[in-house]
Amino acid sequence: GDSVTQMEGPVTLSEEAFLTINCTYTATGYPSLFWYVQYPGEGLQLLLKATKADDKGSNKGFEATYRKETTSFHLEKGSVQVSDSAVYFCALSDRGNDMRFGAGTRLTVKP
């Protein structure tokens, strides 16, 4: 079945460092890809999405490009802030109801 694999955390960075969180997927069809962010004790918030190959999703300085050839959707940010500390989830949806999530990557940004 469809699945998502994220790089294991936790990830600890200093403020203004460059962030990459790797995400690869396995899917039989042509899924939409998502990054969600979860702050402590809260639900998930949609951060960005891409619905077809070569699409780039972007929001709040975060970016991810849908790479069909490498089945990847890596999350990047050029300069992280302390407020970016959270858990990040990569997810895919091939048929709407069948959304699959990665295990999540905890990011801590230190001042």
Q: How far is the CB of 73 from other proteins (least distance, A)?
A: 13
Alpha-carbon distance 70 to 62, whole Å? 20
Of 17 and 99, the one with the shorter C-beta distance to other proteins is: 99
CB of residue 98 vs other proteins: minimum separation in angstroms? 8
- Decide whether 26 or 79 has the Cβ nearer to other proteins: 26
- State the minimum distance, in angstroms, from the CB of residue 16 to other proteins: 28
CA dihedral 27, 55, 107, 99 (to 10 degrees): -40
Q: Which is nearer to other proteins, 3 or 14 (CB)?
A: 3
What dihedral do alpha carbons 59, 95, 90, 4 form, nearest 10°? -150
The angle subtended at Cα 67 by Cα 45 and Cα 53, nearest 5°, is: 85
Q: What share of the chain is helix, strand, coil (3-state, %, to 5)?
A: 5, 50, 45
| Residues in touch with other proteins (CB under 8 A) | 4, 31-32, 34, 36, 41-46, 49, 51, 89, 93, 95-97, 99, 101-104
Instruction: Output the smallest distance, CB 44 to other proteins, in A.
Output: 4
